[in-house]
Amino acid sequence: MYYLLPFRFERLKGNEILVNEAGDYLIVPQHTVERIVNKEITEAEEIYKDLIASFFISETPLPDLIDNYAARLRTKKAFLDLFTTLHIFVLTLRCNQNCIYCQASSKECDSEIFDMKESALLKAIDLMFQSPSPAITMEFQGGEPSLVPQLLKFAIEMSEQRNKIFQKEITYVLCSNSIHFTEELLSICSEYNVLISTSLDGPEFLHNKNRGKINSYSQVIAGINQARQHLGNDRVSALMTTSDYSLQFPHEIIDSYIQNGFNSIFLRPLNPYGLATDNDWNSYYQYFVEFYKTALDYIIEINKSGKIFVEEFTALILRKILTPFCCGFVDLQSPAGIINNVIVYNYDGYVYASDESRMLAEYQDYTFRLGHVTDKYTDIFYGEKAQQLAQTWATEVIAGCSDCAFQTYCGADPVRNYSTQKDVYGHRPSSFLCKKHKAIIKHIFSLLIEREKEVMPIFKTWIKDCH
């Protein structure tokens, strides 16, 4: 006699994947769920011990080790203890590129009216320091923030001054296209240990096409090398965006990252904001999943040859599958990363729930505007708008997510729901993001089922230092 504990399941590759509330999983033969529910599993079977140990069934109404189980679940949700750790400052909308998928509604280089005022910047910094988190990340975005080095320096110096009182651990990140790196800017980055997050979409022909500039690639590589010389190789990371054109070149994109000295890549799809809004998303995401599978297989072969090269999104999913820990990636969090983990201070002083929601505002849609930097902290982070969003930001209570086997590995995104479906609650059967996430998670589990001995040693190296 045993008692059932909450779990969900998915059939895949002739097996059933059982997942409990804490994200622990078992891969079992088909019809095992039916036998569990009908209480046909006997103590003599090996699977009985696995089901007990992994909290799928219990010999008592309340498991003896329920406190251990609760600790695992608490660890999965630990990001909520810290509240807002990532604070994004949009210093300017000015930009010196012309990306075909621009999501930030960038403006011309000489449009200074789109720069953040110092008074607004100071107010935003004051809000940031009211976060209860002992460690915060101050991320500078645009447009192209390297065009306003004086604002970057002012923001960091004011934060350093404020931090003499608050004593927080601050990480500074500059998101830049690396084209306008001056000695002044790199000196600032060197002095304050600023991390550089740049953009590289692949080989020269592809990167230049995506950026709308014939010489973008050579300038970006020069900027990356310049930053590495000043800051060190480990202080410069790159992010790619997969345009429709990029879908044809998975191997070439990965090769370009390796050739340029990177040890990882984040296979990032387009987002439905800015210039990319009018895409055929159903078709795009279908092709993107195939692109991802091809790229991941190629990356696995590279790792088998002895070189450690990580696909970062896969590593995030694996961290959630194979470890008891949460991940810092806001798109894979429930409750959602918006407000709970990230906040955006726009160039005009308005505060938004996420980077994507301020992009909607550039098209006069202020659904996710939380307030202004002159407002009180409590009114912004705990106000009426935040409370409304809180009703739709947990996968545990959303139809189509609450009963999904992969709920623990995924995240809620009311901003994406609204952008694509005009409804913050969203409709999972027609959600392109849901289909994409589910397809990728299923593919990772397929690898664990069919190629475990081959891929597991590789995957373990990927999550060893995953944050």
pLDDT in tens, the chain (467 residues): 899 999 999 999 999 999 999 999 999 999 999 999 999 999 999 999 999 999 999 999 999 899 999 999 999 998 899 899 999 999 999 887 766 666 555 555 666 789 999 999 999 999 999 999 999 999 999 889 999 999 999 999 999 999 999 999 999 999 999 998 999 999 999 999 999 999 999 999 999 998 877 788 999 999 999 999 999 999 999 999 999 999 999 999 999 999 999 999 999 998 776 545 566 777 888 899 999 999 999 999 999 999 999 999 999 999 999 998 888 788 899 999 999 999 999 999 999 999 888 888 888 899 999 999 999 999 999 999 999 999 999 999 999 999 999 999 999 999 999 988 899 999 999 998 899 999 999 999 999 999 999 999 999 999 975 44
Distance CA 327, CA 24 (A): 15
For position 319, what pLDDT does the model report? Answer: 94
For position 467, what pLDDT does the model report? Answer: 47
For position 397, what pLDDT does the model report? Answer: 92
For position 403, what pLDDT does the model report? Answer: 94
For position 310, what pLDDT does the model report? Answer: 97
Measured CA to CA in angstroms, residue 71 lies from 294, 315, 332 at distances of 38, 23, 20
For position 329, what pLDDT does the model report? Answer: 85
Domains of the chain in start order, with CATH, are 3-76 (no CATH), 80-361 (3.20.20.70)
